[in-house]
Amino acid sequence: MSLLQEAEAPADPPTPASPRRSSGGLGLGRYILVRALLIFPTVLILVTLVFFLMRVVGDPITASVGGRLTEAQLQERLEEAGYLRPIWVQYVEYLGQIFTGNFGRTITDNREIGDILVQYGGATLELVFYALIVAFLVGVPLGMVAAYFRDRAPDAVLRILAILAYATPVFFAGLLLKLLFSVWLGWLPLGGRASSRVQLALGRLDDPTGIYLIDALRSGNSIIIGDVLAHAVLPGLALGLLTAGVFLRLVRTNLISTLGNEYVDAARSRGVSEFRLVRKHAYKPALIPIVTVMGLQIAMLLGGAVLTETTFAWRGLGFQLAQYLGDRDFVAVQGIVALLAVIVALTNFIVDVIAAIIDPRVRY
Amino acid sequence: MAEPRAKRSLASRLPVISHIRQSSGLQRGMLVAGTIITLAFVLVALLAPLIAPYHYNENRDADGPFPTQEAPNAEHLWGTTVGGYDVLSRVIWGTQTALLVVIIAIALSIVIGVLLGLVSGYLGGWIDRVLVVIADAIYPFPTLLLAIVTSIVLAGGRSTLWSGILAAAVAITVIFIPQYYRVIRAEAVRLKSEAFVESARVLGTSTGRILFVHVLRNSTRSIPLILTLNASEAILTLAGLGFLGFGISPTTAAEWGYDLNRALADTASGIWWTGVFPGAAIVLLVLGLTLMGESLNDIADPKLRLRRRRKGTDLPAVQGGAA
Amino acid sequence: MSKAVEIRDLRISFATDAGDVTAVDGVSLDVAGGEVLAIVGESGSGKTVTAKSILKLLPSTASTRGAVVLNGTDVVPLTGDRLRAVRGADAAMVFQEPSTALNPVYTVGWQLAEGLRAHGKYTKQQARAKAIEMLDRVGIPDPEQRIDHYPHQFSGGQKQRIVIAMALVLDPEVIIADEPTTALDVTVQAEILDLLRRCRDEFGAAIVLITHNMGVVADLADRVAVMYEGRIVEQADAVTLFASPQHEYTKRLLGSVPRIGTSLKEPWVATDDAAVVEARGLVIEYPGRFGRAGFRAVDGVDLAIAPGEVLGLVGESGSGKTTIGRAIAGLTRISDGSLSVLGHEMLGYRERDFRPLRKRIGFVFQDPATSFNPKLTIAEAVAEPFVVHGEAENASDAKTRVQELLEAVQLPRAFGERFPHELSGGQRQRASLARAIALRPPLLIADEPTSALDVSVQARVLELFAELQREFGFASLFISHDLAVVDLLADRIAVLYRGRLVEQGTGAEVLGAPKHPYTQRLLASLPVPDPIEQAERREQLRALRALPTPAADG
């Protein structure tokens, strides 16, 4: 190799002014490994935060049933549950439990948090799935349209709609949808995941998944399928439209900022059409930040799911959480929140890996 | 030779006003509309005792108790709730609660978030690494869940006016600190390698002076943006807490989310006014704040700002020394 | 010969915050087929806008009048598909920054084929075959494999070759090259210029070359148009223009270009005083992340700067020259060896011990746009050294001294009241010098202080530097990638290559009779602003390239 070619070898030394992206040149395998290891501190921090927040002031038993018991009874309950030991002992024990997948038992109905996940997780998953379908089908294409027509009338209309979607709390959207489609038009059911007879029918299936859509499809009964879908429309729309608004803004903003890159001008100078510039040249690079931020929106979706489930009496994890909140069962609340923390950390890991796979600079 | 120029007037340097001046078209429309809506709510909040027909926890007057679940009429313009409260009055008083919570929450989170971000971003080292991991862990966590946990701790879930407002505010603060922290830290990291900060280091400027004279003063440009967006998120979180029955109890203050929770049962019988009005209030206020935030973002970003020339175009600029 | 491009009375203005600004004001130009026309000018002259208007690549804020005739069609009124048909096929563009002109998430083959298929004449296989052929023709080794690689897997020079291949792929009449070598190192620049010459010779394309570099013009151009404030002030064939420039501005421009062998500095007289800076076996490493190996930016460098001496440090990007400057100023820690600055050892130093010495070191940064706090006035910024070292309570306390300093760098006193963005790049760099010499330091580090400036502004800042050095007598480390600039100011020159010092000596020794092959190549790659002399030098460089490979530390 000649000296000149050598001088041209791809060497971009890390200068303090421009540190290379930490993932740059790392290789996908290493990246996934490093990112996977990061799940542990993330979960640890969240669980620790929740634990100490809940214990700073008192203990869940006093908070739950304190007023209703005598002092002696309360002391006995606390002693029994181990809340009188030093807090760090409890903390270490709690961490150990979490690590083995034990998120504790509820006070009010003495159930394993894990069981609650098994029983109701499917419902929440199903709701989030519907919402994501609505969000992707509505948000992403409209975001591209808005970027293509940027600063012109269609863009203005879409942006206002997106802001409206974001500004409407999901329970208010749900309330309006219910008023319109259930009460006034009578087209769709008010709430619940299925009518009671269908629910019974689904319960009789061999090992039901708890995900009604799958169970209904397995039953092959068109009335059941129709009933399940009819119940899904409004909750899916309420949560989905909120998310669609966020996706629309996300896609639009990232596309526009990518369209400002010189390689778009370069492609334009080669005679590439404006539509293709948006669809190919801007979309794929913009997808990397879009996917990353979408991952962060999963959290918003879960928070929204709690409210949506309450609005539509959709018996999922969020609905249960709200019930336990109402019953002041804070052990259950802590357990479910910790569980959701793990789910959020895992989802973000998956999303980051997807983003890395899209980005050739990480792949090679 | 150039004369010393008059300093720009204070008004033209205030965030929103200076942004309006340099905006145009749709962006200006959005900014102005957002500002007007927001100001209208502030006004309503300040004047609540004067314009609300009744007090928020008033469900009877000299003539006896108010009718319950009554449709809008001359006596009760927006109708009454299941408890016999006047909907209009509760919506108006709710403005006060919402804005109070937002102001406290944002004031707390800005101060803490900015300080942490500044120190962590500029000094780096292990403190920085630990704080980044913590902020990254909290950031994607559902804000509502965290708010629930915090409000359980602070108020046991139910409370008086101030402890309720404080609980909601602190709950929201916990969520927002990582956001300010991340933004300011990113700015601090960027500024740290800017030549003017390095030149201050070469001069031997003390770290404190670098932080406050050079870094802080240049890292606040995105604050108005996050502030408005956070304000809208704070209102949504507060309403969410209220909706789950975990906000401020109804007798101590009016709160829209709580009223919506009560209204949920009404919908089945077609009673719309108990839910639509507080809900619309939330939407409108969040809309106003978000319009402000979005347009501030566009105007501050030269790439997105309308009628602004693109970077890199070859335009005449006065070049050369004072020859 | 037929005309490849005909521009008639082109007027372009932009809508800005401050109202309409005219960027191009009545430009008329012809480019003959197979001709290289250089449009030269400094920033703001309108040269890039003129070039971009040929393909109608201006932002929506621009309004264009006049005519740009390409292949018999006026492109100014064209829109939509008719415009698309012209772009790439009749005229193509080569951009300044190859790393931003390529889409990072698509393979280079995909991007090459896209241009072909946008014009609808090729199947997938044909497009691929054509793309491989083009990569081969622009000198990318192993094109069959490389075609499936992503842009980040190529070096800067290779990326620019690919951008050129994309421009050539549809066999356009004319290629518009907008500062095609500005982002590249000088040795790579020489290769890209050769490639562009081949574009004309082998592909028969006319080239519109936009550049501010008179050496590049002398190397490549047949004809030259000089632009100033949106107008063409002079047009002539290259040899004539360089030999006898007519317009005042052209003369000034040519006079400002630094040439090797001229010096602004009075010879330095050796003394017995201890060296201001002394490095022995200096090693600086940047730590790697996630278990990757660290990067050794500086590797075993020995150098010394005596009091009052100016040492010029030359190297290309990645050579470690800036790192050495930063280490001397205490901005980067050294990893091994020894570095003594004003008698203070920098290996494992503590900031507290070093801080008192900081008032004795001045630093001028490369980028005048970021070297001042945008929230402080120039006077406040220049007063900072006094305030920080307790010689003044606040900025107004130091007012007299600040004004003296501004006068010393030939800035009007009133400029102290201005904010940095209200000054031009050259003015800011003067203010930067004022701040650096405020405490009369015995050592001044200048890191590429003029590389962001136009050549005529650069000339004046370099003169000022020489004058200040004469007056204040500071020792200096002057860092630059430009041999001619360093030769103007330095008593001695040190050449860095990949973190190692390959040669040092006086200007006459290093540049007059370079010993190390890298220095020889660096010197030969530097284009001189004289077409005839440059043609000879090109031959020398070609001969050098034919020599066997020298080792980096040989």
Residue of A nearest to C53 (CA): A269
CATH code of residue C46 = 3.40.50.300
Rounded distance, CA A314 to CA A234, Å?
Answer: 11
Strand (E) positions, C274-400? 277-286, 295-305, 310-314, 336-341, 344-345, 361-364
Instruction: Order across the sheet with C336-341: list the strands.
Output: C295-305, C277-286, C336-341, C344-345
- B-chain residues within 8 Å CB-CB of A176? 276, 279
Q: Tell me which chain A residue has its CA closest to the CA of residue B24.
A: A151
Q: Is residue C40 part of a domain?
A: yes
CA angle A334, A339, A340 (to 5 degrees): 100
Strand partners, C279: C303, C339
CA pseudo-torsion sign A164, A132, B174, A349: negative
Residue B177 above 90 pLDDT?
Answer: no
Give chain B positions within 8 Å (CB) of A182.
267
For B150, the closest chain A residue by CA position comes to A53
- Interface contact flag, A169 B240, Cβ < 8 Å: yes
Please indicate whether, in this complex, the C-beta atoms of A271 and C119 are within 8 angstroms of each other: yes
pLDDT digits (tens, 9 = 90+) for A288-310: 888 877 777 777 788 888 888 88
> Which residues of chain C have a CB within 8 Å of the CB of B196?
370-374, 381
Residue B94 phi, psi dihedral angles, 5° rounding = -60, -30
Q: What is the DSSP letter of B290?
A: H
Helix or strand run (H / E) with residue C495: strand C492-497
Token readout for B299 is 């105007």
C376: which chain B residues are within 8 Å (Cβ-Cβ)? 213
The minimum CA-CA distance between B323 and chain A, rounded to whole Å, is 33
Set of chain A residues whose Cβ sits within 8 Å of the Cβ of B144: 303, 306-307
Choose from B7, B202, B305 for mutation: most chain C CBs within 10 A.
Answer: B202
Closest chain B residue to A324 measured between Cα atoms?
Answer: B244
Cβ–Cβ below 8 Å for A270 and C87: yes
Q: Do A268 and C191 touch (CB under 8 A)?
A: no
Mutate to test the interface with A, among B172, B228, B283 (most CBs of A within 10 A): B283
Given a cut of 70, whether residue A162 has pLDDT beyond it is yes
A254 touches chain B (CB under 8 A): no
Q: Do C310 and C426 fall within a single domain?
A: yes
C299 forms beta bridges with C283
C-alpha distances (whole Å) from A19 to each of B189, C204, C259 are 11, 43, 35
CA distance C59 to chain B (A): 7
Domain extent at residue C464: 277-522
* DSSP structure string for C3-63: EEEEEEEEEEEEEETTEEEEEEEEEEEEEETT-EEEEE--TTSSHHHHHHHHTT---TTEE
Q: A283, A141 in Cβ contact below 8 A?
A: no
Q: Which residues of A touch B261 (CB under 8 A)?
A: 171
Between the CA of residue B43 and those of B50, B225, B252, C20, what are the distances in Å? 11, 22, 21, 40
Q: Does C145 touch chain A (CB under 8 A)?
A: no
Say yes or no: B74 contacts chain C, CB-CB below 8 A: no
Q: Are C275 and C343 spatial neighbours (Cβ–Cβ below 8 Å)?
A: no
Which of A3, A6, A22, A148 is the best residue to mutate to test the C interface, defined by the most C CB atoms within 10 Å of its own CB? Answer: A3
Taking only the tens place, the pLDDT of each residue in B38-89 is: 899 888 888 878 777 777 777 777 677 777 767 777 777 777 777 777 778 8
The CA distance from B244 to the nearest CA of chain A, in Å, is: 6
Share of chain B above pLDDT 90, in %: 0
CA torsion, ordered B41, B43, B48, B52, to nearest 10 deg: -80
Same domain? C353 vs C401: yes
Contact A361 C101 (CB under 8 A): no
C105·A273 Cβ contact <8 A: no
Q: Name the token pair of B188.
A: 């601090």
Most C CBs within 10 A among B1, B13, B196, hence the mutation to make, goes to B196
Residues C328 and C380 in one domain: yes
The shortest CB-CB distance from B316 to any of C23, C329, C331 is to C23
Could you read off the pLDDT of A164-210 as tens digits, one per residue? 888 888 888 888 888 887 777 878 787 777 777 777 777 777 777 77
Supply A63's token pair: 């908070």
| Measured torsion, CA atoms of residues B189, B194, B199, B204, in degrees rounded to the nearest 10 | 0
Can you read off the two tokens belonging to residue B300?
């501050």
> Which residues 301-320 of B are in CB contact (within 8 Å) with C?
307-310, 312-320
DSSP letter for each residue of B20-81? HHT--HHHHHHHHHHHHHHHHHHHHHHTHHHH-SS-TT--EETTEEPPSSPPS-SSSTT-B-
Instruction: Return the residue of C nearest to A35 by Cα.
Output: C290
| Chain C nearest CA to B314, separation (Å) | 5
Neighbours of chain C (3+ CB pairs under 8 A): A, B
> Nearest 5°: CA angle at B108, between B104 and B114?
145
Q: Over its length of 554 residues, how does chain C's per-residue pLDDT go in tens digits? A: 478 889 999 999 888 766 788 888 889 999 988 899 999 988 888 888 998 899 888 887 888 899 999 888 888 888 888 888 888 888 899 988 888 899 888 899 999 888 888 887 788 888 899 899 989 988 888 899 899 998 988 888 899 999 999 988 888 889 999 988 888 888 889 889 989 998 888 888 899 999 988 989 999 999 999 999 889 999 999 999 999 999 999 998 888 888 887 777 777 777 777 888 999 999 998 876 655 667 888 999 999 999 989 999 998 888 889 999 999 998 888 999 999 998 889 888 888 888 888 889 999 988 877 888 888 889 999 998 998 888 888 888 888 899 999 998 988 888 888 888 888 888 899 999 999 999 999 999 999 888 888 888 888 899 999 999 999 989 999 999 988 899 989 999 999 998 899 999 988 888 888 899 899 888 888 888 888 888 888 888 888 877 654 444 33
CB-based contact, A269 to chain C, within 8 Å? yes
Domain extents for chain A?
26-169+235-363
Nearest chain A residue to C541, by CA: A4
Instruction: Give the range among A258-262, B3-7, C179-183, C488-492 with minimum mean pLDDT.
Output: B3-7
Does C546 reside within a domain? no
- Residues C246, C287, single domain; the answer is no
Distance from CA of C285 to the nearest CA of A (A): 10
Residues of C in contact with B25 (CB under 8 A): none
Nearest to A337 among B133, B145, B260 (CB): B145
Q: Which of C118, C333, B77 is nearest to A276 (CA)?
A: C118
A16: which chain B residues are within 8 Å (Cβ-Cβ)? 193
CATH number belonging to domain A26-169+235-363: 1.10.3720.10
Residues C307 and C232 in one domain: no
Q: Are strands C62-70 and C3-16 parallel, antiparallel or unpaired?
A: antiparallel
The nearest CA of chain B is from the CA of C540 a distance in Å of 36
Cβ–Cβ gap C93/A15 under 8 Å? no
Asked if residue B286 has pLDDT above 50, the reply is yes
Whether residues C436 and C288 fall in one domain: yes
Note whether A118 contacts C: Cβ–Cβ < 8 A. no
**H or E segment at C480?**
strand C475-480
Determine whether the interchain pair A166/B144 forms a contact, defined as Cβ–Cβ distance below 8 Å.
no
Write out chain A residues lying below 8 Å of B263, CB-based. 175
State whether B240 and A307 contact (CB < 8 Å).
yes
Chains touching A by CB (3 or more pairs below 8 Å)? B, C
Domains of chain C: total: 2
- Euclidean distance between CA atoms C213 and C37, whole angstroms: 14
Please tell me if residue B251 touches chain C, with a CB cutoff of 8 Å: no
| ipTM of the shown complex | 0.79
Dihedral sign of CA atoms C51, C57, C61, C64 in order? positive
Q: Name all domains of chain B by residue range, CATH numbers in brackets.
A: 23-322 (1.10.3720.10)
Q: How much of chain A, in percent, has pLDDT values that exceed 90?
A: 1
Q: Parallel, antiparallel, or unpaired: how do β-strands C36-40 and C223-228 relate?
A: parallel
Cβ contact, residue pair B319, C42, below 8 Å? yes
Shared-domain flag, residues C117 and C197: yes
Query: How far is CA C15 from each of CA A149, A154, A342, B318, C63, rounded to the nearest angstrom?
Result: 20, 24, 52, 18, 8
Residue B73 sits at the chain C interface (C-beta within 8 Å)? no
Residue pair C382/C416 in contact (Cβ under 8 Å)? The answer is yes
Both C504 and C441 in a single domain?
A: yes
Residues B223 and B229: their CA atoms lie apart, in Å, by 10
Of C55, C332, C552, the CB nearest to A269: C55
User: Residues C111, C114, C116, C122: what is their CA dihedral angle, to the nearest 10 degrees?
Assistant: 120
Average pLDDT taken over every residue of chain B = 75
Query: Which among B140, B263, B269 has the least Cβ separation from residue A175?
Result: B263
Look at residues C194, C186, C130, C135 and name the one whose alpha carbon lies nearest to residue C165.
Answer: C135
Q: Has residue A66 got a pLDDT over 80?
A: no
Helix axes A39-57, B143-155, angle to 10 degrees: 20
